[in-house]
Amino acid sequence: MMSMVKEKLPTMYDLARDRSEPARIELAGMLADIFLNPDAVLSLREEEMANELIDQLLLAGSAAVRSQLVHKFADMSRMPARIAKALARDSIDVAGPVLLASTCLADDDLIQVVDMKGGDHALAVASRAEISAAVADALVTTGDMRVMIAVAENLGAHLSYRAVDVLADAARYAAPLRAPVMRRPELTPDAAMKLYWWVEQDLRRYALQRFGFNAGQIDRALADTVAAFLGDHAHEKDNDAVMAQVADWMEAHDALTPQVLPQVLRMGHFRLFNMLLSRMSGLSLSLIDTIIAEVGGRGLAAICRTIGIDKPGFVSLFLLARGGRPGEHIVHPRELAQALAAFDRLSPAIAGDLLHSWKANPDYFVRHMQEAAAESRTQV
């Protein structure tokens, strides 16, 4: 091998001194031929000479020269580390194949490229056949959704608990990320619960089978999910268009349950509460607005009876919903007593008939309330 290098050295040094692009390309080819030789085992002196020529070539070489190196080293396992590390920081056209397949790039080399370049370079690293946990940590914290999806889908990537948490947080707002994250072998029960109410039913069933969550855990996860989602829209509580989108999301994710109603009210989302109650009862939003503003709570009592809310739940909703009523928010004890009496008088069947009548003719609710008020005054 030494004789072959010695024979070529004069020509290679001449080419190194020649600043023309054809000379540089030829030098790149000669260097590649040396390292691609199946019998290539360089001595220390040969490595020094080759590295000197590599440094000169990379320092002054054009994009065409660097592309020639990548082309010649189609088998990346034969590319010298010195060339691989330099080309890994080049334009993505040159760096891509190196980042994807070079086996001589250490974790530190890859992490530096991710930190310095990001974007397409990070995406190439994320697509490697194998990725260490340290490299995966650097990739998922780029914030680039393409990169995060590539990492989550790459079963050759080893994910730390930290990386799983980062991916789970991001997956809440990125639908393409949810399925690959939920199916990761490193997924923890906590991360699965964090995502549980954000994913489709088939993935929820998969999580139940895999982790065996109980009803209490699922309810707590729903409360946490609703709190996070409503927190993201804390400054849009009075925007009907936005609240309608929130209601759409909750309905699509099976989060439209009686249990979330008091939570929605505690977070001050009174407009959303009315929208959710409209969807759960089948009554128009305008009629729900009238029912919530009504003194005495008879309409709300009928709705709660119909949709399966018990007496303590009704009391909680009745008191909390007063916060969305114009004017005085404090509930007079007599009004609360009237509301409880109305709830006690109604059976679910009768309440359902009332809602059916109100749905068919909203004006009937107003007449019903007037009649109930007159009856109450007569009794007094």
Concatenating the DSSP letter of every residue in 27-91 gives HHHHHHHHHHSTT----HHHHHHHHHHHHHHHHH--HHHHHHHHHHT-SGGGS-HHHHHHHTTS-
Q: What pLDDT was estimated at residue 310?
A: 93
Q: What pLDDT was estimated at residue 244?
A: 92
Exposed / middle / buried, residue 332 (Cβ in 10 Å: 0-12, 13-18, 19+): exposed
The whole-number average pLDDT for the span 221-233 is 84
State the pLDDT confidence band at 52, using cuts at 50, 70 and 90. Answer: low
Q: What pLDDT was estimated at residue 373?
A: 54
- Return the DSSP state at 131: B
* 322 close to 296: Cβ distance less than 8 angstroms: no
| H or E element at residue 106 | none
Collapsing DSSP states into helix, strand and coil, what is residue 157? strand
Q: Higher model confidence: residue 367 or residue 318?
A: 318
Q: What pLDDT was estimated at residue 55?
A: 65
The whole-number average pLDDT for the span 125-131 is 94
Mean pLDDT of the chain: 82
Please determine, for residue 354, whether its predicted confidence score (pLDDT) is greater than 80: yes
- Return the DSSP state at 328: -
Q: Which pair of structure tokens corresponds to residue 41?
A: 């085992």
DSSP3 helix / strand / coil % (the chain, rounded to 5):
75, 0, 25
Q: Name residue 157's beta-bridge partners.
A: 131
CA distance 222 to 247: 14
Q: Which pair of structure tokens corresponds to residue 143?
A: 């914030």
Cα 343 to Cα 84, 169, 351, distances in angstroms: 76, 42, 9
* 302 close to 353: Cβ distance less than 8 angstroms: no
Q: Higher model confidence: residue 49 or residue 208?
A: 208
The whole-number average pLDDT for the span 3-20 is 64
Q: What pLDDT was estimated at residue 2?
A: 46
Q: What pLDDT was estimated at residue 229?
A: 82
CA distance 249 to 259: 16
Q: What pLDDT was estimated at residue 78?
A: 63
Q: What pLDDT was estimated at residue 141?
A: 92
Q: Which pair of structure tokens corresponds to residue 357?
A: 């009548």
The whole-number average pLDDT for the span 229-251 is 87
